[in-house]
Structure 1
Amino acid sequence: MEEFKQALPVSALKEEARTAFYKKTYTYLAFAVLLFIVVEYLFLQVDFIVNIGLKMMQGWTWLVVLGGFMFVTNYAERMALSSKNKTMHHAGLFLYVIAEAFIFVPLIYIAIEVSGARQTDILSQAAIMTLALFAGLSMVAFTTKKDFSFLKSIITIGSFLAIGLIVAGTLFGGFELGLWFSVGMVVLAAGSILYQTSNMIHKYEEDQYVAASLGLFASLMLLFWYIISIFLSE
């Protein structure tokens, strides 16, 4: 009976337990965002890392980087979900945040340079818009209490299409993805936030708050990436 209770989804728990789960999830999400900011700042202070970041966006190298990032993402998610060891959960989240910070290096560096040239703070504007959209979408998921699990197939298909376009754009010179691709990815990221928030409410178990925060963080960073890209394309 004890094991059965532990296997219950959060939606089946008492209100007090659900509230505690949500607090833990968003606390870890806030921690992940703060850690990302700190690690990103430190990465940008090291010329060697910045140079590697800029070079890795050139040609087929970017495909290798994306492939490695997808592998790390999958590994971190398995660490956060499959083990009952909370240390492994934390290690998975930490690993994913470091990977996100590294892959963001060239985009953040370019955004800083462009901000200086345009005399505008692209990163602050993108961050505010990202957080506003994230908060709004989270509110929709909580207030409607709708199960958005049906979005999984749409997100999966959209992700494969996006990967295909990125591969085509990388391998075939002159094929620019452009503004509308970024807009489409923002829509995909918005759907992912709804999906992940819905999973947090309806699917996760009581001890899986770190995994829930990792899923939300991944969707948040995807949204942030393409909102920055939209600002850069203006």
Structure 2
Amino acid sequence: MQDRTVAHSPAGIEVVGTNKVLKNTYMLLAMTLAFSAFTAFLARGAAPLNPWVFLGGFIGLSFLAQMLANSAWGLLAVFGFTGFVGYAIGPLIGALTQSSVGSELVMQALGGTAVIFLGLSAYAITTKKDFSFLAGFITAGAIVLLLGVVAVLVFKMPALHLALSAGFMLFSSALILFQTGQIVNGGERNYILATITLYASIYNLFISLLHILMALSGDD
């Protein structure tokens, strides 16, 4: 009788709601990551996308998925976005895995990404800290990094590219803490929006770490 009362109390309902959003987010995230891996596999022998096409597609499809997050088309938009990203990085992964050194770099980037994401997520979930104070940093960081991406595409500066990769790793780590904290503390109740944010963070972590490893190995 006591357990039933707690479950129907406002605090109990809030906990149930939080757990549901967290569960749905990680389920959808796992599915979209698997779908991205599948489309990357299909594109392993394709010609690389033009960087401007990729940038436009990444931003456009992510915004579309966010706009449709509260409708029945939200899930389809999420898979469209993540499938596009997977297809876009397929040629790079395919080229790297042609050699043992490249395959090792990919595995190191995947492992590092997994460790960072799982570690930060576990920290945010177990401590239940409020990371709302990162909102300003994330907003400013997004603007600076977007300008940095444009600068790299225009001026082709390897040093700036490396610095940008490091910046994206820091930005993505902050975004993972912020978004997970929002879910845990009841600030995010739309698991589609949460999935988009976490997926983009994982992608940026992986590709940035891969670029840094390639630069250090002399393959960049």
Return closer, same or farther for 1:181/1:105 CA change in 2, 3 Å cut-off.
same
CA distance in 2, matches of 1:117, 1:93: 33
Tell me by how many angstroms 1:12 deviates.
Answer: 7.7
CA distance in 2, matches of 1:159, 1:14: 31
The equivalent position to 2:89 in structure 1, one of 104, 107, 122, is: 104
Alignment check: 8 A CA contact 2:96 2:102 kept:
no
- Taking the TM superposition and a 5 Å limit, the aligned residue runs for 1:37-76 are 37-44=37-44, 47=45, 50-53=46-49, 56=50, 62-76=51-65
Partner of 2:195: 213
Return closer, same or farther for 1:12/1:213 CA change in 2, 3 Å cut-off.
farther
Structure 2 residue ranges without an equivalent (≥5): 1-10
Alignment check: 8 A CA contact 1:93 1:210 kept:
yes
Partner of 1:7: none
Return closer, same or farther for 1:64/1:135 CA change in 2, 3 Å cut-off.
same
3-state DSSP of counterpart to 1:183:
helix
For this pair of structures, how many residues does the alignment match?
A: 205
Task: Establish whether residue 197 from structure 1 lines up as the match of residue 193 from structure 2.
Answer: no
CA distance in 2, matches of 1:162, 1:14: 36
Partner of 1:121: 104
Tell me by how many angstroms 1:211 deviates.
Answer: 2.7
Return closer, same or farther for 1:153/1:103 CA change in 2, 3 Å cut-off.
farther
The equivalent position to 1:79 in structure 2, one of 53, 62, 68, is: 68
For 1:231, give the aligned amino acid. L
Partner of 1:186: 169
For 1:112, give the aligned amino acid. T
For 1:111, give the aligned amino acid. L
Return closer, same or farther for 1:107/1:120 CA change in 2, 3 Å cut-off.
closer
TM-score, reference length from structure 1:
0.78
TM-score, reference length from structure 2:
0.82
CA distance in 1, matches of 2:56, 2:182: 26
Tell me by how many angstroms 1:98 deviates.
Answer: 1.3
Structure 1 residue ranges without an equivalent (≥5): 1-10, 57-61
Task: Establish whether residue 232 from structure 1 lines up as the match of residue 217 from structure 2.
Answer: no
CA distance in 2, matches of 1:221, 1:173: 22
- The CA RMSD over aligned residues, in Å, is 2.2
CA distance in 2, matches of 1:177, 1:227: 15
Alignment check: 8 A CA contact 2:18 2:183 kept:
no
| Per-residue CA distance 1:30-75 (angstroms, 9 max, x = gap) | 111111111110122xx4xx2142xx1xxxxx23431232111101
Tell me by how many angstroms 1:16 deviates.
Answer: 3.5
The equivalent position to 2:136 in structure 1, one of 149, 153, 160, is: 153
Alignment check: 8 A CA contact 2:97 2:103 kept:
no
For 2:30, give the aligned amino acid. A
Return closer, same or farther for 1:32/1:120 CA change in 2, 3 Å cut-off.
closer
CA distance in 1, matches of 2:126, 2:62: 30
CA distance in 2, matches of 1:39, 1:214: 17
| Per-residue CA distance 1:121-163 (angstroms, 9 max, x = gap) | 1111111110110011001111221121222221121121122
**Percent identity between the aligned chains?**
28
Return closer, same or farther for 1:162/1:20 CA change in 2, 3 Å cut-off.
closer
